[in-house]
């Protein structure tokens, strides 16, 4: 028998690549929009790759929002396969991230936003260094206990739209507690990305800065 030689990971310095996955409408793009001012305030240079499923809506929204240089946003078509483009065949996303890295040498992070998907969605570690999965309370309080690879395997589970919880008959504290219990030692952060009271976004950026950029949290 031949001896297996593991494929070595590139140790070339470059921006950390962050996956952001989650179901349609869970607030992935809104979370990116909410993080942008925090990144800017901390001097963290960012670019974004979007995988809109049927439009370039997310890419255009980020480009038009004034929060990021439109040149730093690339859209990659998913061929009706949101899983495939981030997991089984991430090559087009890798190429898009490589292009951004070459065009903007000072980048700290490249965010790769998945198209809206389901709870079985995961990112290939060929594509990203770390990934988060975003769900929201509007999908029901049973989403964490349905588990699924997105809930269980992500480096961070984000539960978004906490402000909507009372309107959709969800106990925000209970869904967060259950998610933490299901994920054991893996982190869970609740957040709200829109409206007068933004919550949890600083905490997410703190985690990225600490775990991926090896920076101290903002005081």
Partner 1 sequence: MTDVLPLLRLMQTTDSAFPSGAFAFSSGLETLRNEGKVRGAGDVHAILTRQILPRWLGFERPFLKQAMEAADDTDRLLEIDARCHVQNSSDRLAEASRRIGRSLLAVHGRIGTPHVSEFSAAIAQAGRGTAAGYEPVVQGVVAAGLGLSPLQAQAGTLNAAAMAFVSAAVRLGCIGAIEAQSLLAQVAPDMARGLAEPCPDRAGSFSPLSEIAAVRRNTTHASLFAT
- Ramachandran class of 24: left when φ > 0, alpha when ψ lies in -120 to 50, beta otherwise: beta
Least Å distance, CB 14 to partner 1, is 15
> Which of 90, 150, 190, 200 is the binder for partner 1 (CB under 8 A)?
90
Nearest to 207 by CA among 42, 13, 27, 49: 42
Instruction: Tell me: does residue 91 bind partner 1 (CB under 8 A).
Output: yes
CB 5 to partner 1: min, Å: 9
Question: Do β-strands 46-50 and 109-113 pair in parallel, antiparallel, or remain unpaired?
Answer: parallel
Stretch that binds partner 1, among 51-59, 104-112, 145-153, 184-192 (CB under 8 A): 51-59
Nearer to partner 1, 127 or 134 (CB): 127
- Identify the residue among 16, 25, 42, 81 touching partner 1 (CB under 8 A): 81
For partner 1, the closer CB: 102 or 217: 102
Query: Distance between the two ends of the chain, CA-based, in angstroms?
Result: 56
Return the closest-CA partner of residue 23 out of 109, 129, 156, 151.
151
Distance from C-alpha of 14 to C-alpha of 11, rounded to nearest angstrom: 9
Q: Closest distance between partner 1 and the C-beta of residue 75, in Å? A: 10
| 53 touches partner 1 by CB under 8 A | yes
Is there binding between residue 7 and partner 1 (CB under 8 A)?
A: yes
Single residue of 71, 84, 120, 174 touching partner 1 by CB under 8 A: 84
- 177 lies in the site for partner 1, by CB under 8 A: no
Identity of the residue, 31 or 94, whose beta carbon is nearer to partner 1 in the bound complex:
94
Binding piece for partner 1, criterion CB under 8 A, among 23-31, 37-45, 91-99, 174-182: 91-99
Compute the half-sphere exposure of residue 212: CA atoms within 13 Å on the CB side of its CA.
25
By CB atoms closer than 10 A (0-12, 13-18, 19+), residue 169 is exposed
By beta-carbon proximity to partner 1, the closer residue of 92 and 125 is 92
Which one, of 53, 60, 98, lies nearest residue 76 by Cα?
A: 53
Site string for partner 1, 98-127 (x = CB under 8 A): -x----------------------------
Residues 218 and 45: their CA atoms lie apart, in Å, by: 16
Residues 146, 170, 122, 181, CA torsion sign: negative
| Inter-residue contact 199 to 192 (CB < 8 Å) | yes
Point out which residues bind partner 1 (CB under 8 A). 7, 53-55, 76-81, 84-85, 88-92, 94-95, 99
């Amino acid at each position: 028998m031949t001896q297996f030689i593991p494929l070595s990971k590139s140790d070339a310095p470059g921006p950390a690549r962050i996956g952001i996955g989650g179901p349609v409408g869970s607030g992935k793009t809104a979370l990116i929009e909410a993080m942008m001012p925090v990144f800017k305030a901390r001097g963290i240079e960012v670019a974004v790759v979007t995988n809109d499923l049927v439009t370039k809506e997310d890419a255009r929204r980020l480009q038009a929002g004034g929060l990021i240089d439109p040149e730093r946003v690339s859209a990659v078509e998913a061929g009706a396969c949101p899983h495939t483009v981030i997991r089984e065949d991430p090559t087009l996303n890798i190429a898009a991230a490589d292009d951004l890295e070459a065009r903007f040498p000072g980048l700290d992070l490249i965010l790769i936003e998945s198209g809206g998907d389901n709870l079985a969605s995961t990112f290939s570690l060929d594509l990203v260094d770390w990934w988060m999965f975003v769900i929201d309370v509007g999908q029901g309080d049973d989403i964490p206990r349905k588990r699924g690879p997105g809930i269980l395997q992500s480096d961070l589970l984000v539960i978004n739209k906490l402000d909507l919880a009372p309107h959709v008959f969800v106990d925000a504290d209970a869904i967060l507690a259950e998610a933490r219990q299901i994920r054991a030692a893996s982190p869970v952060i609740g957040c709200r990305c829109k409206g007068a009271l933004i919550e949890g976004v600083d905490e997410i950026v703190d985690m990225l800065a600490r775990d991926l950029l090896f920076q101290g949290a903002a005081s």
